[in-house]
Amino acid sequence: MTAAQPAVVAGAAATPRLRDTGALVFLAELSRALAVSLDLHQTLTQAITRVRDFLEVEGIALFLLDAASQVLECRVSAGPIDVTGMRLAVGQGVVGQTLAQDCTQIVAQAQDDPRLWRGSDEASGFITRSLVCAPLRTAAGPIGVIEIVNRRDGVPFSAADAELLELVAAPAALAINNARLAGELLEQQRLKRELDLARHLQKSLLPRRRRDGFPVLGVNRPAHEMSGDFYDYFELPGGDIGFVIGDIAGKGLDAALLMMRAASLLRWIGKEHPAPALWLARANEELCESAREGRFVCAVVGYCDRAATRVRFANAGFPPVLVLHGGQYRQYLADGPPLGIVREVGFDEHEVALDGGALYAFSDGATDVRGSDGRPIGLAGLRALIERHAQATPKARLRSLLGELRRLHLVDDTTFLLIEAAQAERPELLFTRSLPARAESMRGLRAELRAVFDQQAIEPRLRDELVLAVDEACTNVIRHGYGPDCEGPLTVRATRCAATLTLEIVDEAPAVDPASLRPGTLGECRCGGLGIALIDRIMDDWRIEPAADGRGNRLVLHKHIDSWAGEEAADA
Amino acid sequence: MSAMANAVTRERSDGAILVRLRGEVDLSWSQQVRRAVLDAFDAGLAVGIDLADVAYIDSSGIAALVEGLQQGRARGQRFALVAPSAAVRAVLELARLDRVFDIVDTPAALGGTG
Query: Do A21 and A159 reside in the same domain of the chain?
Result: yes
Residues 5-64 of A with CB under 8 A from B: none
Identify the DSSP state of A482: I
Is A223 in the same domain as A153?
no
A99 and A59 share one domain: yes
User: Could you say which DSSP state residue A226 is in?
Assistant: S
Q: Which of A6-15, A109-118, A524-533, B61-70 has the highest mean pLDDT?
A: B61-70
Give pLDDT, residue A1.
Answer: 40
Q: Do A356 and A224 sit in the same domain of this protein?
A: yes
**Residue A10 domain-assigned?**
no
User: Which CATH number covers residue A309?
Assistant: 3.60.40.10
Q: Which of B27, B62, B87 sits opposite A530 (nearest CB)?
A: B62
Query: For the segment A140-192, what is each residue's pLDDT rounded down to a tens digit?
Result: 899 999 999 999 999 999 999 999 999 889 888 888 888 888 777 788 888 88
Q: Are residues A136 and A59 in the same domain?
A: yes
Q: Which residue has the higher pLDDT, A497 or A321?
A: A321
Q: What is the CATH number of the domain that holds A95?
A: 3.30.450.40
Q: What is the mean pLDDT of chain A?
A: 85
The answer on pLDDT for A278 being more than 90 is yes
- Classify residue A384 by burial, with Cβ atoms within 10 Å: 0-12, 13-18, 19+: exposed
Contacts of A446 in chain B (CB under 8 A): 24, 56
Are A396 and A465 members of one domain? Answer: no
Torsion angle of the four alpha carbons A235, A237, A239, A244, in this order, in degrees rounded to the nearest 10:
-30
d(CA A57, CA A369): 67
Is residue A189 one of the residues assigned to a domain? no
Give the helix/strand (H/E) hosting A88.
strand A87-89
Kindly write down the DSSP assignment for every residue of A290-301, as one continuous string.
Answer: HPPTT--EEEEE
3 state SS of A244: strand
Q: Dmax of chain A from CA atoms?
A: 135
Is residue A356 located within the same domain as residue A485? no
CA distance to partner chain A, nearest, from residue B14 (Å): 30
In a domain, A549, yes or no: yes
**Residue A539: its chain B contacts at CB < 8 A?**
none
Q: Is residue A1 part of a domain?
A: no
Neighbours of A222 (CB within 10 A): 20
Are A131 and A98 in contact by the 8 Å Cβ rule? The answer is no
CA–CA min distance A427, chain B (Å): 29
- Residue A187 in any domain: the answer is no
Centroid of chain to Cα A120:
53
Q: Identify the structural domains of chain B with CATH numbers, from first to last.
A: 7-106 (3.30.750.24)
Structural domain includes residue A105: yes
Residue where a domain terminates, one of A420, A440, A469? A420
Final residue of a structural domain among A387, A420, A453: A420
Number of domains into which chain A is organized: 3
B58, B73, B88: best to mutate for the A interface, most A CBs within 10 A: B58
Domain C-terminal end among A420, A455, A481: A420
Helix/strand/coil (H, E, C) string of A302-317?
EEECCCCCEEEEEEEC
Are A177 and A234 found together in one domain?
Answer: no
- Is residue A179 within 8 A of residue A75, CB to CB? The reply is no
For chain B, the 3-state helix, strand and coil shares in percent, each to the nearest 5, are 40, 30, 30
Q: What span, in angstroms and rounded, lies between the C-alpha atoms of A389 and A393?
A: 9
Among B99, B38, A99, B60, which residue's Cα sits nearest to residue B49? B38
**Domain assignment of residue A294, given as a range:** 206-420
The enclosing H or E element of A495 equals strand A489-497
Torsions phi, psi for A242 (to 5 deg): -90, 145
Q: Is A102 left (phi over 0), alpha (psi -120 to 50) or beta?
A: left
All residues of chain A having their beta carbon less than 8 Å from the beta carbon of residue B62 are: 525, 530
The pLDDT, as a whole number, for residue A150 is 94
- Contact A480/B at CB under 8 A: no
Query: What secondary structure does DSSP assign to A506-563, as a single string?
Result: EE-SSPP-GGG--PPPTT--STTHHHHHHHHHHSSEEEEEE-TTSSSEEEEEEEE-HH
According to DSSP, the β-strands at B79-82 and B46-57 are: parallel
Which chain B residue's Cα is nearest to A443? Answer: B24
Which residues are CB-contacts of A556 (< 8 A; sequence separation ≥ 6)? A502, A503, A504, A542, A543, A544, A545
Kindly state whether residues A559 and A446 are assigned to the same domain: yes
Interface test with A, best of B60, B62, B66 (most A CBs within 10 A): B60
Find the residue in B nearest to A526 (Cα): B63
Query: What is the CATH number for A483?
Result: 3.30.565.10
The reply to whether A469 touches chain B by the CB within 8 Å rule is no
Higher pLDDT, A164 or A123: A164
Looking at residue A555, its pLDDT comes to 93
Q: Determine the distance in angstroms separating the CA of B55 from the nearest CA of chain A, rounded to an integer.
A: 10
Which of A446, A478, A525 is opposite residue B66, by nearest beta carbon?
A525
Shared-domain flag, residues A282 and A138 = no
Q: What is the pLDDT of residue A569?
A: 46
Q: Would A37 be classed as within a structural domain?
A: yes
Same domain, A357 and A411: yes
CB contact under 8 A, A523 and B100: yes
- B48 closest CA partner among B76, B10, B96: B10
CA closest to B55 among chain A residues: A464
Sign of CA dihedral A273, A275, A280, A284: negative
Find the farthest-apart pair of alpha carbons in chain B and give their distance in angstroms, rounded: 37
| Same domain (yes/no): A149, A222 | no
By CB atoms closer than 10 A (0-12, 13-18, 19+), residue A480 is middle
In this prediction, residue A524 carries a pLDDT of: 46
Q: Do B37 and B67 contact (CB within 8 A), yes or no?
A: yes
> What's the confidence (pLDDT) of residue A204?
81
Which residues of chain A are within 8 Å of residue B94 when distances are taken between CB atoms?
A: 465, 468, 534, 537-538
**A64 part of a folded domain:** yes
Q: What is the C-alpha separation between A496 and A516, in angstroms, rounded? A: 29
Nearest to A533 among B24, B67, B95 (CB): B95
Interface pTM (ipTM) of the complex? 0.90
